[in-house]
């Protein structure tokens, strides 16, 4: 359990698929990626699981029914034919690895099963992508030291970082019922907030709507009540990751959050990208965890292993773009407003998981852990408007001359990401998109 992540033939950069990759986002989904999702189409409105490959989606239920996965255990096949990813997430890690190898073999150039597999591949443009996981529990962390300092500085200029930050990955429970797939419209939420110049709150549509660019981590097998997962075993308990936008209404959040933390300022919507990139696909992009700051106390032993220090980081590069209605009407391209990197995150996703269940808390297959806003040290690497606007001291100028404080109705926010490493096929994540609609 303390070894480097394993690479196998599915990670070979020379591997190619016979599925076309002409579409604009096909580069996200080479055969080295094989992310899992859930979809329906006009011909069959029943939701089912799929694998993104080039321009296409492999229908996993059809593949099972065609006998293409019959070398796999019956339980793996049954999970692949299910209606949600949760059953597959509950399978042991070695079954998930075996599935990846089978899928890679079916989809590779030269596959002997190409013809029968081709009958199970749909064009991605012909399907509707659905929420992939029945998320039972959602937890949001706060693991970027840059984000913590930037936001803490606005409240406590002399002492931005709280004493617990270096000791544990701070987290809080989020709202699972409003975790929705990319594309779900975001209606500007109402709430109580202190408006400028008033000592009493008023109830109305938020005037400080923000996004937060995060990585989402899906739990795999999880753990039983009272039985923690050690850091050494944490990689076996992580199924995969997605892009996540933790939409936030800063004015509502500010008024409500003492003493018990964020609530309605967050729970109106959390968006996730439709594809779950497995931990196996990320193996070539595992890097050392971010260096701990020199003044930090040594890690508590349950949060430290050499393997986590050496391979706990992930080299994922995010891009956040904004396009206003005026920009779209004028045919302008979206404007890049942030390029944070996950390598700067102070805590690893494995530390998050191990800390979460260190008190015996049960994690269920498909539970979602948000990393918290991903922000880096430079102004180009900030992951939310609260930081970009420096708490209202700055504005952003968009192409065409509009200025932006917080998000306006009609604004479309898009998070994408990619993993790049020398000698490796780059992989992407698809997109996590949301458009701000006027308050209902």
**Only segment of 100-108, 170-178, 238-246, 409-417 that touches a second copy (CB under 8 A):** 170-178
- Output the smallest distance, CB 319 to a second copy, in A: 27
Q: For 274-285, b where at least 16 C-beta lie within 10 A, e where not — what string?
A: bbbbbbbbbbbb
Nearer to a second copy, 220 or 228 (CB): 228
Binding window for a second copy (CB under 8 A); candidates: 88-96, 136-144, 407-415, 427-435: 136-144
CA angle 271-272-274, nearest 5°? 130
Q: Give the DSSP letter of residue 379.
A: G
Residue 190 or 328: which CB sits closer to a second copy?
Answer: 190
Count CA atoms within 13 Å of residue 284 on its CB side. Answer: 20
Q: Which is nearer to a second copy, 167 or 332 (by Cβ)?
A: 167
Strand locations in 282-388 (E): 286-287, 313-314, 317-323, 335-338, 368-370
State which of positions 247-276 bind a second copy (CB under 8 A): 249, 252, 255-265, 267-269
Q: Is 347 in the site for a second copy (CB under 8 A)?
A: no
Residues 404/211, Cβ–Cβ less than 8 Å: no
| Nearer residue to a second copy within complex by CB, 111 or 230 | 230
Q: Residue 359, interface with a second copy (CB under 8 A)? A: yes
146: tokens are: 């840059």
Among 125, 362, 377, 400, binds a second copy (CB under 8 A): 362
CA-wise closest residue to 192 among 135, 125, 263? 263
By CB under 8 A, residue 158 contacts a second copy = no
Cβ at position 433, least distance to a second copy in Å: 17
The correct pick among 24, 115, 158, 301 for binding a second copy (CB under 8 A) is 301
Rule CB under 8 A: say whether 177 interacts with a second copy. Answer: yes
Write the interaction track for a second copy spanning residues 40-79; mark x where CB under 8 A is met and - where it is not: ----------------------------------------
- Judged by CB under 8 A, the chain residues 189 through 208 that form the site for a second copy are 189-192, 200-203
Q: How far is the CB of 405 from a second copy (least distance, A)?
A: 20
292 contributes a contact to a second copy by CB under 8 A: no
Contact call for residue 170 and a second copy (CB under 8 A): yes
Distance CA 79, CA 56 (A): 21
| CA neighbor of 382 nearest in space, from 211, 229, 240 | 211
364 near a second copy, judged by CB under 8 A = yes
Cβ proximity to a second copy, 184 vs 310, nearer residue:
184
Q: Which residues are catalytic?
A: 147
Element at 304 (helix H, strand E): none
- Interface with a second copy, residue 361, by CB under 8 A: yes
Give me the least distance between CB of 305 and a second copy, in Å please. Answer: 15
Stretch that binds a second copy, among 90-98, 104-112, 209-217, 355-363 (CB under 8 A): 355-363
Residues 6+ apart with CB under 8 A from 257: 263, 265
* Binding test (CB under 8 A) with a second copy, winner from 15, 75, 176, 326: 176
Sequence-ordered list of residues with C-beta below 8 angstroms from that of 313, at least 6 positions apart, any chain = 286, 287, 288, 289, 290, 342, 343, 345, 348
Helix (H, G, I), strand (E, B) or coil at 267: coil
Q: Please state, in angstroms and as integers, the Cα–Cα distance from residue 338 to each residue in 73, 201, 412, 421, 426, following that order.
A: 44, 32, 14, 21, 20
Q: Are 38 and 50 in contact (CB under 8 A)?
A: yes
179-181/36-41 β-pairing: unpaired
Per rule CB under 8 A, count of chain residues that contact a second copy: 65
Q: Which segment (57-65, 164-172, 319-327, 397-405) binds a second copy by CB under 8 A?
A: 164-172
Give the residue, chosen from 187, 236, 325, 391, that forms a contact with a second copy under the rule CB under 8 A: 187
CB 209 within 8 A of CB 249: yes
Structure tokens at 219: 């739990």
Using CB under 8 A, list all residues that contact a second copy.
136-137, 139-140, 142, 152, 162, 164, 167-168, 170-178, 180, 184, 187, 189-192, 200-203, 225-228, 249, 252, 255-265, 267-269, 297, 300-302, 355-356, 358-364, 367, 440
């Amino acid at each position: 359990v303390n070894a480097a992540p394993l690479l196998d033939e599915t990670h070979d950069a020379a591997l190619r698929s016979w599925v076309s990759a002409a579409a604009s986002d096909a580069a996200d989904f080479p055969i080295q990626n094989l992310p899992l999702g859930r979809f329906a189409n006009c011909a069959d409105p029943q939701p089912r699981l799929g694998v993104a490959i080039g321009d296409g989606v492999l229908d996993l239920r059809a593949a099972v029914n065609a006998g293409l996965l019959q070398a796999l255990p019956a339980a793996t096949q049954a999970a692949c034919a299910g209606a949600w990813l949760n059953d597959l997430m509950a399978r042991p890690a070695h079954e998930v690895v075996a599935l990846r190898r089978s899928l890679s073999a079916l989809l590779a150039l030269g596959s002997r099963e190409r013809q029968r597999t081709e009958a199970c591949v749909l064009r991605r443009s012909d399907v509707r992508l659905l929420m992939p996981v029945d998320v039972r529990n959602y937890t949001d962390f706060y693991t970027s030291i840059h984000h913590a300092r930037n936001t803490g500085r606005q409240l406590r200029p002399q002492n931005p970082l709280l004493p617990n930050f270096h000791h544990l990955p701070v987290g809080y429970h989020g709202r699972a019922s409003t975790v929705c797939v990319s594309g779900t419209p975001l209606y500007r939420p109402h709430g109580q907030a202190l408006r400028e110049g008033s000592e009493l709150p008023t109830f109305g549509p938020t005037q400080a709507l923000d996004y937060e660019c995060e990585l989402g981590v899906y739990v795999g097998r999880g753990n039983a009540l009272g039985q923690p997962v050690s850091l050494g075993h944490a990689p076996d308990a992580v199924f995969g990751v997605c892009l996540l936008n933790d939409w936030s209404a800063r004015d509502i959040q500010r008024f409500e959050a003492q003493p018990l933390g964020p609530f309605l300022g967050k729970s109106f919507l959390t968006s996730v990208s439709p594809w779950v990139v497995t931990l196996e696909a990320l193996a070539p992009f595992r890097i050392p965890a971010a260096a701990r700051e020199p003044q930090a106390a040594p890690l508590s032993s349950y949060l430290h292993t050499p393997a986590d220090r050496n391979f706990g980081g992930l080299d994922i590069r995010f891009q956040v773009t904004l396009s206003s209605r005026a920009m779209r009407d004028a045919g302008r391209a979206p404007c890049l407003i942030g390029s944070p990197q996950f390598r700067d995150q102070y805590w690893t996703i494995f530390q998050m998981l191990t800390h979460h269940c260190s008190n015996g808390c049960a994690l269920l297959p498909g539970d979602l852990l948000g990393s918290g806003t991903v922000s880096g040290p430079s102004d180009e690497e900030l992951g939310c408007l609260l930081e970009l606007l420096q708490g209202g001291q700055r504005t952003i100028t968009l192409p065409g001359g509009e200025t932006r404080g917080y998000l306006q109705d009609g604004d479309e926010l898009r998070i994408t990401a990619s993993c790049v490493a020398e000698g490796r096929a780059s992989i992407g994540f698809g997109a996590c998109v949301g458009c701000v609609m006027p308050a209902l």
